[in-house]
Structure 1
Amino acid sequence: MKNIRLFTLACTALLVATACKDAKKETETVTETEVEEVVTPPKKLSITLSPKSGSNVEGVINFTETDGMVSMVGTVTGLEEGKHAIHIHEKADCSADDGTSSGGHWNPTGQPHGAWGDATGYHKGDIGNITANANGRATVTKTTDEWCIDCGDDTKDILGKAIIVHIGVDDLKSQPSGDAGARVGCAGIIN
C-alpha cells in the first residue's frame, strides 16, 4: 500500500511539474510585430523665370523638400555680367511688365532687410546675390530649414510667393529691399 501511495505521489508531482513547465513556456513566448516605416516622398517644384522690364532674363529654378530641408537649385540666363540680387517676393503674380505685381520682399516675421543668417535680422525672402558670367549665365543654390513647400506654415511656406531677379546688386543693408533696382525676371512659386 505504501508503494501505491508513493507511486500516486510521484505521478502527481510529475503532473504538477509538467503543468508548471508548460505554463512557464507560455509566459516566455515573445510576440514580434513588424513596424512599417512611413517614408514621405520629397516634394518637388520647378518654376520658369520670365523676362521683365524689357530684359532677356529667363531661367529655371527647382525646389525640393526632403526631411524638413528645402533645396533651391537653378540657372538664370540673359543677365549682364556681374552680380544680381535674387529674392522671394510676397505674391506669385508676375503679370506686371515690371514685375511689381509680385509685391515686396517676403517677410513673414517682420525683420529688417539683410544678409541671410545675419544676427540683426533678415527677410525669409532675402536670398542674396548671384553672379553672371560673361555669357550672362548665373546659378543659384540654397538649402534651408526656414522654408517649406505647401506646409501651411505662414512663416515658412514658399508656395504662392515669387522669385524675383533684379538688375542690380543687393547691398544687404538698404531698407526695405537692398537697393537692387529694377525687376528683370519673375517666376511664381506655384504647383
Structure 2
Amino acid sequence: MQFRKAVGVCAAAGMLVACGNDQIDLPEEGDNGMAPDNGEQEQADAFAELNDEQGSRVGDVSFFEQGENKTRVDVTVDGLPPGYHGFHVHEEAACDVDNNEGPFQSAGGHFHDEDGAHSGHSGDMPPLYVSEDGSAFLSFTTDRFTPTNLADERAVIVHADPDNFGHIPERYVAEGEEEGGPDADTEATGDAGDRIACGIVVSEAP
C-alpha cells in the first residue's frame, strides 16, 4: 500500500450552470478540472507515518508551514474502522505497542503548552472521519503549533472513538459525580477511547 502526501486541489463540478446570459460549458472529455500533475510533490516540513497495533502502515500525516505561526495539516488514511475518530498530537515521540497500559500509551497525553482542559490543548485537532471503505482525507490549518514544534519531539494518535472535545452540558451528570458537566477523563481526552494508530513526527518523510 502506497501513500502520497496530499496537496490541495480544486475540482470543477460536472454540471451545466446558467447565470443570466452567461453559460459555463461542460469540461472536455478527459478534463477533470484538476490542476495538471507535473509529477512534483510539495515537500512537507514535518511528517508522520501512521501505523496500527500490528505494525501495518495505515496513513500519512504531513505538516506544511503556512506563513507566520500557521501550519497546514494533510492526512491520508486507508485501512481504519469507519466513523469519526479522535485525532491528536501527543506529548512524546514514542509509539510502543507492548505496554501494560495499552498500545501507544508511550506517547503520553495530549501535547499542550499550558495546563488546561481538552479542547484547549495545543495538540487537539479536528476529528478524522473514515469512510465505509476505510479511507479518509483531511486537510486543515491551525495556529496551535508549527512543524518545528513537533518534529522529532511528538507523536500523532488516532483514537478508536469520536472526540466530544469536552463538550458535556451541565445537565449531564457523570456516574459518581455530584455536579454536571465533563469529568476528569473527558477534560483530558474527550472520551476518544483506545489508541488505534500512532506515528512519530519527523523532520523528513522516509
Match of 1:146 among 144, 152, 156: 144
Match of 1:125 among 120, 123, 126: 123
> 1:127 is aligned with what amino acid?
M
1:126 alignment partner, SS class: coil
User: Retained in 2: the 8 A contact 1:57–1:184?
Assistant: no
Q: Which residue does 1:186 correspond to in 2?
A: 198
Q: Which residue does 1:61 correspond to in 2?
A: 61
2:106 alignment partner, SS class: helix
Describe the shift of the 1:148–1:141 C-alpha distance in structure 2 as closer, same or farther (beyond 3 A): same
Q: Which residue does 1:14 correspond to in 2?
A: none
**How far apart are the structure 2 equivalents of 1:57 and 1:190?**
16
> 1:102 is aligned with what amino acid?
A
Residue by residue, what CA displacement relative to the aligned partner does 1:71-99 show, whole Å, maximum 9, x if unpaired? Answer: 10011221221111100000110123401
Alpha-carbon RMSD across the aligned residues, in angstroms, is 1.9
Spell out the pairing of 1:23-172 with structure 2 (5 A cutoff): 44-52=45-53, 58-68=58-68, 69-97=70-98, 98-114=103-119, 122-150=120-148, 157-159=149-151, 160-172=153-165
Q: Which residue does 1:25 correspond to in 2?
A: none
User: Retained in 2: the 8 A contact 1:57–1:76?
Assistant: no
Describe the shift of the 1:64–1:175 C-alpha distance in structure 2 as closer, same or farther (beyond 3 A): same
Q: CA deviation at 1:56?
A: 5.9
TM-score by length of 1: 0.66
User: Retained in 2: the 8 A contact 1:56–1:78?
Assistant: no
> 1:188 is aligned with what amino acid?
I
> 2:127 is aligned with what amino acid?
N
Q: Where in structure 1 are there 5+ consecutive unaligned residues?
A: 1-41, 115-121, 151-156
Describe the shift of the 1:43–1:75 C-alpha distance in structure 2 as closer, same or farther (beyond 3 A): closer
**How far apart are the structure 1 equivalents of 2:71 and 2:78?**
23
Q: Where in structure 2 are there 5+ consecutive unaligned residues?
A: 1-42, 167-185
Aligned residues: 136
User: Retained in 2: the 8 A contact 1:55–1:78?
Assistant: no
